[in-house]
Structure 1
Amino acid sequence: MATPEFIVELRKKIGHDPLFLPAVSAIVIRDVAPDAPIWAVPEVLLVKRADNGNWTPVCGICEPGEEPAETAMREVREETGLEARVEALLGVGAMNRVTYPNGDVVDFIDTAIRMSVIGDDTPVIGDEESSDVGWFTVAQLPSLDPRFRLIIGDAVAQLKHPQGFRPRLGFHKRKP
C-alpha cells in the first residue's frame, strides 16, 4: 500500500516515533429489498487487503484538512469504484497501536460511518490496496477482526432502529 505523501514527509522529521492519525472505517450496507423473504439479511461491502489477505470494511487515513465523511466517500470510490453517501455516525474510538514492518508506529483514532451506495452497486477492485471486493451477508461474514464485527453490527442496528441508536464512544481495544 502506498503511504500518503504527507506521512512520508512527517516521517522524514520524526522517524519511526508514534504518529496519532485520524482514520475512517466506511461500513457500506446494502439493506434487503422490501419484497425480500423474511429471512433475508443486509449485506456489507468488504475488501480483501492485498498486503495481508484480511477482509475488512473500506478503511483509510484522513488527508490534512479532509473531513472524515469526505475520507469515507473518497476511500469507497478509490477502493471499490462505488459512489457512496454517508448515512450515520456509528462511533469514534482509539484503535490498538500499530507497528509496521519498517518500524513506523501509529495510533489511529477511527471514525466509523454507515454508508449506502448511490446508483450501481457492483464493486470493482479499484486500486492496488485490495485483491478482492464483494458483498457479504451480515449473517455469513468471512473471518474479521472483532472490532469490525462490532461496528458492522452497530451499522445494522442503526439502520434498523435509528431512533434508539447511540454512537459508540471508544472501541474495545485488545490488551497488548
Structure 2
Amino acid sequence: MPSELPLHSVSVTGVVVRRDGRVLAIKRADDGRWVPPGGVLELDESPEAGVVREVYEETGVRVEPEGLTGVYKNMERGVVTLAFRCRVVEGAGRATEEAAEVAWLTVDEARARMVEARAVRVLDAVRADGPFVRVHDGVRVR
C-alpha cells in the first residue's frame, strides 16, 4: 500500500573553499542563477560521495568533503539539502552542460551574486560554529 505522506527529495551542496579563501560557484545554465555546485543525491550513494560527484559533474573540480556545515529545507518544494565544506583535490573549474560559467568568488562576491537561500550555505560553511539547520522558500531564509 503506497504511503499517503508526501516525499522529500535529498540534495547535496559542495561549498568548495580554496586555500586563498575563495569559493567555487556556478552560473546555472538553466536559470542563470549563481549557486554553489550541487544536486540530487542518488539512492545508492552516500552524501559524501554525492557531493564529490555533483561538484565534479558541474565544474570538473575533484574535491574531498571536510565536514557537514548545514542542513537546509526548501519548504515550498520539499527539498532537503546537506551542505559540505570541501577542499580542492584537483582542477581549477570549467563550464559544463549544467554550468554556463564557473568562478572562484570571494565570500562577499558570493553573498552579492547569490540569492539568500544559496548564499547562506557559503556563509555557514566558512564559520566555525556549525553545522546549522535552516529553512527557506527557495529565495529567502526564514
Same fold (TM over 0.5): yes
Report the counterpart of residue 156 of structure 1 in structure 2: 126
Pairwise CA RMSD: 2.2
Q: How does 1:80-119 map to 2 (within 5 A)?
A: 80-98=59-77, 107-119=78-90
Gaps of 5+ in 1: 1-17, 33-41, 99-106, 159-164
Number of aligned residues: 135
Aligned partners of 1:51, 1:119: CA distance in 2, in Å? 26
Q: Deviations over 1:111-169 (max 9, x none)?
A: 0110011033x10123x1111111011122342121222121111113xxxxxx2311x
Report the counterpart of residue 173 of structure 1 in structure 2: 136
Give the one of 106, 126, 129 matched to 1:137: 106
Aligned partners of 1:81, 1:119: CA distance in 2, in Å? 9
What is the CA distance between 1:97 and its match in structure 2?
A: 2.1
SS of 1:131 mapped into structure 2? strand
Give the one of 38, 46, 49 matched to 2:28: 49
Runs ≥4 residues deviating over 6 A: none
SS of 1:153 mapped into structure 2? helix
Aligned AA (1:77): Y
Report the counterpart of residue 3 of structure 2 in structure 1: none
Aligned partners of 1:114, 1:79: CA distance in 2, in Å? 16
- Paired-residue identity, %: 32
Report the counterpart of residue 22 of structure 1 in structure 2: 10
Give the one of 73, 91, 100 matched to 2:52: 73
SS of 2:134 mapped into structure 1? coil
Asked if 2 retains the 8 angstrom alpha-carbon contact of 1:94 and 1:109, the reply is: yes
What is the CA distance between 1:91 and its match in structure 2?
A: 1.4
